[in-house]
Structure 1
Amino acid sequence: MAEGDEATAEKKGSNKLIVILLAVLIVVILAIGAVVTTLLLTGDDKPAGEGEETAEQSEEAEEPKGPPITVSLGDPITVNLSKPNDANVLQVQLDLVTRDPKVEELIKTQRSRIVNDVMLVLSDVDSAELRTRAGKEALQASLTEEINRILEDGTELEQPVENVYFTKLLMQ
């Protein structure tokens, strides 16, 4: 009978060891899961020390360079519409807004190229679409993009013109 008691005691001891090991394994898995979840939720994709910015640096990057500078393209631009509906001619006068004095000078030196490319964009406008606010805003966005493409060409400028504003828009 002594042998049976020893075997039972040995089984109980090994069962306790298995239970303890399983408990430790579960705790480790939960800890790893918590760490991974924390990293995913914080969105920390960068290794430590790489690309860290202070609050001041991020605010400086978002703040505009200076007060807005409005540059007029001068005389109104008149084009014949390629898709005439009820209007055959479109006339616009534009002001460009920037915050960099260098861009103001660049606009003046590139004026003829800007006017030419604006005329090309305007000639493809559908007058029915332009009668709506959404159509005007879409044209405004495409003109801003086209003018920025011209001004960025050969320079290190990025988004030199913030916006293009219509100071005159006439369809006949």
Structure 2
Amino acid sequence: MKKYIILFFSIFLFFGCAGKTYTDRSVVKSSKPIFIKNAPNNNLAYVTFTNTSSVDSNLTQAVSLNLAKNGYEIVSDKAMASTKIRGNLNFFRRNYIKDIDPFVVSGINFRYFGYDRLDALDDYYSSVTNSYVYDAEISLQINIDGEIYETNLYFQSDKNTNSTSTMMEILNTKISNQILNYLKFLN
């Protein structure tokens, strides 16, 4: 009987640990769909992104690298390129999410009844943040041999504890993959 109890608890422990896998559930949405009809004359691409947000971004390099991996040749002269990709990182925000503290602390919920409380013990005034949600907006223009396609891309992450630089790399990957998906309709 003792073996069955130990076996039950060990199986329960392994199932509990197995459910804690991380999946990137961030989402990229566009303001209007892009359907590219005509293929470019060549596979030369010119990529430039500006940044009007307050966060450092290397979106131009990320998109250029992703396009180069998928058969495009990146050029610095936009007159030579058939595919011109321009954009602007309008904003990149980090929103604070505070999880409710399940433990009872003296003084909580008495702030309106005249009782003294210590601000350090009250979770309402606590500066500790449990997680973040990041969101961003990118204005995008794709010009293929004179045909212009424009949209706004909206990025929103799931609740996480990542730093701004880590989320910027995830944003760069998601946006460059979305642009590549637009261009894959040509094949």
Higher relative contact order (CA 8 A, sep 6+): 2
Taking structure 1 as the reference length, what is the TM-score of the superposition? 0.30
Hey, which of these two has a bigger chunk of helix by percent?
Answer: 1
Hey, which of these two has a bigger chunk of strand by percent?
Answer: 2
| Rg (Cα) greater in structure | 1
